[in-house]
Structure 1
Amino acid sequence: MTSAPATDLAPSEIAVLARAVSRAPSVHNTQPWSMRVRHTDVDLLERTSVTLPSHDPEGRDRTLSCGAALAHLQLAARVLCRAATTWCPAEGEVVATVHAVPGVSPDHDALARFHAIGRRRTHRRWFATEPVSEVDQAAVAAAGDEPRVRVVAPQHRDALAVMLGFATRVFRADAAYQRELGAWTAHTFGPRAAGADEGVPEDALCDDSLPAAGLVRRDTPVPDDDHLTARLQMEHLLVFCTAGDSRREHLAAGAACARAWLEATARGLAGSVLTQPLHLLGFRELLAERLELPGLPQVIFRYGHPVVPVPPSPRRPLGDLLPGEFPGTLPWQTD
């Protein structure tokens, strides 16, 4: 029996990569990805069977989610002292291939973000009134630096308040959307608790308005425009924009947001994303015009000091993420 070349990814390394990918944020916590390992190459595949026809009719959020998983994969490869080059095909089941060959040791920033993966949560609450320092703000924005993506702190919060109020009214009245959100709500406590490995934890949702709520439910409040504008003025927001609307740009925006999110987490901050209103017909174009954005908005990221602890979201078994990769016991199944 011949041994694998020394440069090939070892089972222990593959386990590290899989764990990092599994903790990436995703729309409704659908985790719409899987992995395939080929020597030093790792293919990230999009699970197109995971659909949200009411929330994400074009699958854009699913691809953004795969972009977040890609960012976690690239980061984990760097921590394993591997130089990762990435190829993203324009179409097909494989959304990205990471070529991970032995490289240099990771820097401090990469290590800090990697260790933040397990602590990252989606904070669907208003943040504390304590301001985020200018140093932290600059670091979070810089972490999202990506050639295909422009990251901006939006102006004209009054216009944003009006548009979020409109989106709330639309989604509250959308029965099909509400049924879909209910189906993807994971009951992880109380008498309806069940063993869930995907979906939004019920105890992670809140009764606040957008953007704190993150997802509009039937009883999500619609505050008056002046009140919401005042709340938005206190928020730290970043909008991830792209020049076009291709799959590669969606992947890049998702990866950029994930890196910014990990940087925020590493600095003791919490975050959440808002994409739901961006699926309304014409909403992104109008938002770009009214907020004077440098392109099409793909993700709105909000961050700040958390008020309460947030529970982790359920996760699919890692064996589902890498089906058939190893015979017998997988290296992570002894935990």
Structure 2
Amino acid sequence: MTFGPSTGHRSAVSMNGPGQWIPAPGVTMKTSATADLAPSETAALVQAVSRAPSVHNSQPWQLRVRGADVDLVERADVVLPWHDPEGRDRLLSCGAALANLQLAAQALSREITTSFPADADMVATVHTRPGDPPTLANLARYHAIGRRRSYRREFAPEPVRAADLAEILDAADDPAVHAVTPPHGEALAEMLGFATRVFRADTAYQRELDAWTAHTFGPRALGAVDGVPEAALGDAPLPAAGLVRRTTPVPDDVRLAERLAAETLVVLCTGDDTRRAHLAAGVALQRMWLEATVHGLAGSVLTQPLHLTGFREDLADRLGLPGLPQAIFRCGNPVSVAPPSPRLPLGDLLCHDVPGGLE
């Protein structure tokens, strides 16, 4: 996701290629005849969660399997003090992981309910039991999990079809989250341009971003299991850049407004700023992103500017948004293939304090 360095995960290569574990359409995955999750089902859930987008591709989550219940646990040790000082993007990331977990459980013909424990590290518990096959819409989104990429490049000039955009907005499917196309492009351009200049000049922020860049080629290529792949960071200005680096061009506000007008942008807003709201925004964001992928579109997320003090409040006021903005989603028709992101070994995603983990 444009969205403390876990340097221990920088020494080994572990890449999951696109769709390696996603069953082909029409293939039925084996499910347990009992209420408890079978090892093969656990593996499918872990694999789905592993492909969720996250801030700087930090993958700040783990799963704990307890019979038929699956806990999503926030990894508080993943910290980004300059990009995400309050941990808001970390919770958005966990929300995206929760969306994948729910879809994977439904793809296993499991009926699900989700609860939100009060435990500080616990994000949610997905309770499952054998149920009906998934809906066609949910199955299509599940199959899109392995194809979704962060596309930090300019889109093709043809616009997103109105019918496709309507289905993407509907996919958010949460009354607590408002997904709106932002008006007043000039005001948005002015504010994003200001944020770009601030982050370009922030030396500490740039050091942190460099630490979370996965150098996958050239003399610094040591392999990675987390971080933003170097090949995914182009030289385009906002909004295509997604992440502002030292070399990111800064267009004038007029030119940036023209670029914004040529794109399809969706702002996800919530009525409050609680942990539950951040989590809900992450779930809605991932559902929309997967729906966009189903329609053959690419996407990326802007959250970086939203961490400037007072930026979200000012943006909500100037754009007349129905709440506080939590993320800006851009989508469009791709002109190239985005590279895959490195992923942690699947075994690292399971809490081992409960028997029954992956072998």
TM range (shorter): over 0.9
Closer/same/farther in 2, CA of residues 264 and 238 from structure 1, 3 Å limit: same
Q: Distance between the aligned counterparts of 2:356 and 2:138, measured in 1?
A: 32
SS of 1:190's equivalent? coil
TM-aligned CA deviation for residue 195 of structure 1: 1.8
Structure 2 equivalent of residue 322 of structure 1? 350
Mapped pair 1:178 → 2:206: yes
Q: Distance between the aligned counterparts of 1:60 and 1:52, measured in 2?
A: 10
Structure 2 equivalent of residue 298 of structure 1? 326
SS of 1:104's equivalent? coil
> Alignment partner for residue 31 of structure 1, among 41, 59, 73?
59
Q: Distance between the aligned counterparts of 2:306 and 2:221, measured in 1?
A: 32
The one-letter code of the counterpart of 2:78 is V
Mapped pair 1:43 → 2:71: yes
Structure 1 equivalent of residue 108 of structure 2? 80
The one-letter code of the counterpart of 1:154 is P
Closer/same/farther in 2, CA of residues 87 and 26 from structure 1, 3 Å limit: same
Alignment of structure 1 residues 32-111 onto 2, 5 Å: 32-111=60-139
Q: Distance between the aligned counterparts of 2:87 and 2:117, measured in 1?
A: 17
Q: Distance between the aligned counterparts of 1:270 and 1:144, measured in 2?
A: 17
TM-aligned CA deviation for residue 5 of structure 1: 8.3
Identify the range of structure 1 (321-330 vs 184-193) with the bigger mean alpha-carbon deviation. Answer: 321-330
The number of aligned residues is 327
Identify the range of structure 1 (233-242 vs 82-91) with the bigger mean alpha-carbon deviation. Answer: 82-91
Q: Distance between the aligned counterparts of 1:133 and 1:250, measured in 2?
A: 29
Query: Deviations along 1:122-167, whole A, 9 cap, x unmatched?
Result: 0001111011111111011111121210110111111100000000
Identify the range of structure 1 (183-192 vs 15-24) with the bigger mean alpha-carbon deviation. Answer: 183-192
Structure 2 alignment gaps of length 5 or more: 1-31
TM-aligned CA deviation for residue 323 of structure 1: 4.0
SS of 2:146's equivalent? helix
Question: Identity of counterpart residues, as a percentage?
Answer: 67
Closer/same/farther in 2, CA of residues 226 and 105 from structure 1, 3 Å limit: same
The one-letter code of the counterpart of 1:146 is D
SS of 1:300's equivalent? strand
Residues 39 and 357 in structure 2, CA contact (< 8 A), matched pair in contact too: no
Mapped pair 1:277 → 2:305: yes
Cα RMSD for the two superposed structures: 1.4
Q: Distance between the aligned counterparts of 2:160 and 2:211, measured in 1?
A: 36
Alignment of structure 1 residues 65-214 onto 2, 5 Å: 65-214=93-242
Residues 84 and 307 in structure 2, CA contact (< 8 A), matched pair in contact too: yes
Residues 239 and 259 in structure 2, CA contact (< 8 A), matched pair in contact too: no
Query: Deviations along 1:277-315, whole A, 9 cap, x unmatched?
Result: 000000000000111100000010000001111110000
Structure 2 equivalent of residue 333 of structure 1? none
SS of 1:119's equivalent? coil
Q: Distance between the aligned counterparts of 2:41 and 2:358, measured in 1?
A: 15
SS of 2:91's equivalent? helix
Q: Which consecutive segments of 4 or more residues in structure 1 shift more than 4 A? A: 325-329
> Alignment partner for residue 244 of structure 2, among 205, 210, 216?
216
TM-score, length-normalised on structure 2? 0.89
Q: Distance between the aligned counterparts of 1:74 and 1:309, measured in 2?
A: 27
Q: Distance between the aligned counterparts of 2:260 and 2:317, measured in 1?
A: 18
